[in-house]
Amino acid sequence: DIGTLYYTDLLPFTVTAAPETREFLARVADLSIEFIRSTFDRNSKILDFHQPEQLKEVLELDIPAKPLNLDQILVDCKDALKYQVKTGHPRFMNQLSCGTEVVSLAGEWLTAAANTNMFTYEIAPVFILMEQVTMKHMRDVIGYKAGDSILAPGGSVSNLYAALAARHKMFPDYKKKGLLALPGELCMFTSLHSHYSLMGAAAAMGLGTDNLIEVPVDEKGRMIPAELDRLIQDAKSKGKVPFMVCATAGTTVMGAFDPLHAVADVCEKYKLWFHVDAAWGGGVLLSKNQRHKMDGVERSNSITWNPHKLMGVLLQCSTVHFQEDGLLISCNQMCADYLFQQDKPYDVNYDTGDKVIQCGRHNDIFKLWLLWRSKGDEGFEKHIDHLFEMTSYMVMRMKQHPDKYELLNDEPECTNVCFWYVPYRLRSMKPGPDRCKLLGEVQPILKGRMMTAGTLMIGYQPLDHHPNFFRNIISSQAVRREDIDFMLEELDRLGYD
Ligand code: ABU
């Protein structure tokens, strides 16, 4: 019975403990497999919600002074999954990143076993080559003829890499001289509906959040290029120095795609860096039916694209691509000679660590590469098309009941379906500010009921002048028409009153 053993009875502490180690890991793998099985069981709950104080009561979280035996360690593993939200459940529609792709999970398991750092070819030879091949493939899909790419810890950091490169391209002396190298106050532009990470980049880079200038959007949430042009001129007239525009391909809430050709035209006119934040929408590039939404992306200088979103790769997997090769290293290189020796016994151009602002870099490539091998481009195209088919079905079903579901946008550009659920008592109320206020109050209450019931999860938020509304996200391959039918019935069951 391995339960009575301790960590010291396993490898590497006991060199003869291969069978015990195998048994322990097999039991952990069984727990993981059981979690996956129940994730896809539509009769299972998505979550067993507890308030934080209650959860602290039922979990044993303290770090002990003395070792615990493997029985307890296995109980800890089981409990951790017991109270975890099943983000791969077909009725979890809460987040842009969800779903459990089994092949990607296999890649993640083996990534953990390999436990390496991606900064040098020296210690990650296979994964570095995988990264090169996969990033080149993504650049080909984007339409870049050359370039460079890197995987970063999340879309926000990918966007930061793009902004750093943009500033470096225009002001290469900034790296050494800092603010003294700048002719004035730098500013960058993005849409009012863009991701908040652009604001974070402006703060982190020392521009100040006032120098992230937000461009108005149209009724679908797309940047208005004429407004971009006007705001650039306005900033210049005030003595500011524009250096970058970030268009969004798939805004976080409404899923809107900014018009990339028109934005590219403005960038060319003013000689500004053109970045596309396609963290969410980038996956449409893999579908012949959908990729027209990103026409013009090939004219960009850089693009963020998160395979952990529409492509369903396990968290986290974010990529940023540059049309110009050599810029990443020129911008970020610090030449730490204890790590990036130039006289290593292989071509050191394969070392990636000096291209990035971090030092240690997690292996996020294996789970992407393995999934892509298993699906091929063809499988990914079907994958993306399925998500959009499910979205169209949901919108069609909601339109059949306009009294119950009020759509913010009845032709979503991505798989975000934004709507208000209207409870019975508000259905006959006259439209106006009072009804609007009540509708905004109802959605969080309904969300609370979903979480308590554990049967459904959908996110909500306000936007501009709109009160709270639901944002339903379909980015999991597990979602079927029956889940959408269930979701509509469940909203009614939980929210009718
Ligand atoms: N990186 C933004 C993701 C936000 C969301 O999942 O809703």
Does the pLDDT of residue 245 top 90, yes or no? yes
Question: What's the 280 CA to ligand 1 centre distance in angstroms?
Answer: 8
Does the pLDDT of residue 152 top 90, yes or no? yes
| Residue among 94, 95, 194 to mutate when testing ligand 1 (max atoms within 8 A of CB) | 95
**Are 353 and 119 spatial neighbours (Cβ–Cβ below 8 Å)?**
yes
| Residue among 92, 96, 460 to mutate when testing ligand 1 (max atoms within 8 A of CB) | 96
Considering the domain boundaries, does residue 228 fall inside one? yes
Q: Same structural domain for residues 176 and 275?
A: yes
Mean pLDDT within 225-247? 98
**Does 252 contact ligand 1 (Cβ within 6 A)?**
yes
The percent of residues above 90 in pLDDT, for the chain, comes to: 99
Q: Same structural domain for residues 403 and 433?
A: yes
Does the pLDDT of residue 129 top 90, yes or no? yes
Question: What's the 459 CA to ligand 1 centre distance in angstroms?
Answer: 10
Half-sphere exposure of 371 (CA within 13 A, CB side): 24
Question: What's the 400 CA to ligand 1 centre distance in angstroms?
Answer: 29
The percent of residues above 70 in pLDDT, for the chain, comes to: 100
Confidence tier at 269 by pLDDT (50, 70, 90): very high
Considering the domain boundaries, does residue 106 fall inside one? no
Question: What's the 95 CA to ligand 1 centre distance in angstroms?
Answer: 6
Residue 150: per-residue pLDDT: 98
Mean pLDDT within 87-113? 97
Considering the domain boundaries, does residue 469 fall inside one? yes
Q: For atom 3 of ligand 1, which residue has the closest CA?
A: 96
The overall average pLDDT reported for the chain is 97
CB neighbours (10 Å) of residue 140?
Answer: 11
Mean pLDDT within 198-214? 98
**Are 471 and 253 spatial neighbours (Cβ–Cβ below 8 Å)?**
yes
Residue 221: per-residue pLDDT: 98
Domain termination site, one of 326, 346, 364: 364
Does the pLDDT of residue 1 top 90, yes or no? no
Tell me the CATH number at 181: 3.40.640.10
Query: Residues 6-52: pLDDT tens digits?
Result: 999 999 999 999 999 999 999 999 999 999 999 999 999 999 999 99
Residue 224: per-residue pLDDT: 98
Closest ligand 1 atom to 279 CA: 1
Closest ligand 1 atom to 96 CA: 6
Domain termination site, one of 364, 385, 403: 364
Closest ligand 1 atom to 155 CA: 1
Q: Same structural domain for residues 123 and 24?
A: no
Q: Same structural domain for residues 331 and 475?
A: no
**Does 96 contact ligand 1 (Cβ within 6 A)?**
yes
Domain termination site, one of 364, 386, 408: 364
Closest ligand 1 atom to 459 CA: 7
Determine the structural domain holding residue 40 and report its residue range: 2-76
Considering the domain boundaries, does residue 235 fall inside one? yes
Considering the domain boundaries, does residue 102 fall inside one? no
| Length of the chain, in residues | 497
Considering the domain boundaries, does residue 483 fall inside one? yes
**Are 116 and 131 spatial neighbours (Cβ–Cβ below 8 Å)?**
no
Distance CA 116, CA 230 (A): 49
Mean pLDDT within 79-94? 97
Q: For atom 2 of ligand 1, which residue has the closest CA?
A: 252
Question: What's the 469 CA to ligand 1 centre distance in angstroms?
Answer: 16
Considering the domain boundaries, does residue 81 fall inside one? no
Q: Same structural domain for residues 360 and 472?
A: no
**Does 155 contact ligand 1 (Cβ within 6 A)?**
yes
Which residues, in sequence order, are CB contacts of 55 under 8 Å at separation 6+? Answer: 83
Question: DSSP 3-state assignment of 190?
Answer: strand
Question: What's the 386 CA to ligand 1 centre distance in angstroms?
Answer: 21
DSSP 44: S
Question: What's the 251 CA to ligand 1 centre distance in angstroms?
Answer: 10
Burial label, 31 (beta-carbon count in 10 A; 0-12, 13-18, 19+): middle
Query: Model-level pTM greater than 0.95?
Result: yes
Question: What's the 392 CA to ligand 1 centre distance in angstroms?
Answer: 21
CB neighbours (10 Å) of residue 330?
Answer: 14
Q: Same structural domain for residues 333 and 351?
A: yes
Question: What's the 213 CA to ligand 1 centre distance in angstroms?
Answer: 22
Mean pLDDT within 193-202? 98
Mean pLDDT within 459-479? 97
Distance CA 190, CA 249 (A): 12
Considering the domain boundaries, does residue 108 fall inside one? no
ipTM at complex level: 0.93
| Residue among 93, 248, 252 to mutate when testing ligand 1 (max atoms within 8 A of CB) | 252
Query: Residues 308-352: pLDDT tens digits?
Result: 999 999 999 999 999 999 999 999 999 999 999 999 999 999 999
Tell me the CATH number at 438: 3.90.1150.170
Q: Same structural domain for residues 302 and 166?
A: yes
Residue 132: per-residue pLDDT: 98
Q: Same structural domain for residues 359 and 397?
A: no
**Does 97 contact ligand 1 (Cβ within 6 A)?**
yes
For 287: left if phi > 0, alpha if psi spans -120 to 50, otherwise beta; the answer is beta
Kindly list the strands in the beta sheet with 466-473, ordered across the sheet, starting from the edge strand earlier in the chain.
92-93, 457-463, 466-473, 416-421, 405-407
State the total domains in the chain: 3
Does the pLDDT of residue 365 top 90, yes or no? yes
Q: Same structural domain for residues 357 and 379?
A: no
Question: What's the 252 CA to ligand 1 centre distance in angstroms?
Answer: 6
Q: Same structural domain for residues 283 and 420?
A: no
Mean pLDDT within 427-439? 96
Residue 414: per-residue pLDDT: 98
Mean pLDDT within 94-110? 96
Q: Same structural domain for residues 167 and 222?
A: yes
Q: Same structural domain for residues 204 and 57?
A: no
Q: For atom 1 of ligand 1, which residue has the closest CA?
A: 155
Confidence tier at 156 by pLDDT (50, 70, 90): very high
Question: What's the 101 CA to ligand 1 centre distance in angstroms?
Answer: 18
Q: For atom 4 of ligand 1, which residue has the closest CA?
A: 96
- In our burial notation (b when 16+ CB lie closer than 10 A, e otherwise), range 473-497 reads bbbbbbbeeebbebbbebbeebbee
